[in-house]
Structure 1
Amino acid sequence: MEAIRLVLLFLHLLGFAVLLGAFIAQLRLKLPKVSSGMLHGAIAQLVTGVALVGVREAADMTVVHAKIGAKLGIDVILLVIAIVGMRRTTSPWPFYTVGALTVVEAAVAVFWT
């Protein structure tokens, strides 16, 4: 069970890296937009995050449900805005919102113990 948890954690962090890396790569453009890398990173974050909670619950490890609820809410909002941003290329607000929510999610993960 521990090996599964570690693989999921690695994939979760990889999803975060893809999401943030794609955001930073788009910053240099005059009209940045949500890229497919940002969308795939958001999907990876959501799927692996839910799987991580399931593995932790199955292994009787502690889970802070309020934190998980907050992260899940941020993830769902982030994913919806990323999907909207993929379809709406004329406005940069989805791009900047996805970037801001990515940073907020990382802050929740690190500082909420």
Structure 2
Amino acid sequence: MDVLIHLFVGLHIIGIASLLGGFLTQMKAMGDGTARFSPAMLHGALTMLITGVALVGLNQADDNEVNNLKIGIKMAVLVVILGLVYLKRDEERVDKAMFGAVGALTTANIFIAVLWT
């Protein structure tokens, strides 16, 4: 079971990298007002959602303790990210504030995962 959990953790990190990488590569475009949500950002957020749910289930099945409050907050932040990216995925330009919010929420989600013990 540990191998499967580690596999999903790796996939979860790939999703985070895709979402945050899509944001970071367009920071200059955000300053110019021409940033847009790339398909990689949407796929990264979806990957995070699917693998995160799988990780909770696998950890509970393996009798590991799961902090439901932490997972709930991370899920709520991710749903907001996913909603913003999904709704504006086809637009040529996304508002600076909205694009920045996705980057800030993604970063916050990473720090919640790492620092909340």
| Structure 1 residue aligned with 2:106 | 102
| Structure 1 residue aligned with 2:45 | 42
Higher RCO structure (Cα 8 Å, ≥6 apart): 2
Return the TM-score normalized by structure 2. 0.90
Deviating beyond 4 angstroms after TM superposition, the runs of 4 or more aligned structure 1 residues are none
Aligned partners of 1:33 and 1:89 also within 8 Å: yes
Correspondence for 1:55 among 52, 58, 68: 58
| Structure 2 residue aligned with 1:65 | 68
Aligned partners of 1:33 and 1:94 also within 8 Å: no
CA RMSD of aligned residues (A): 1.2
Q: Deviations over 1:23-80 (max 9, x none)?
A: 1111122211111111111001111000000000000001000000001111111100
Aligned partners of 2:35 and 2:93 also within 8 Å: no
Consecutive unaligned residues in structure 2, runs of 5 or more: none
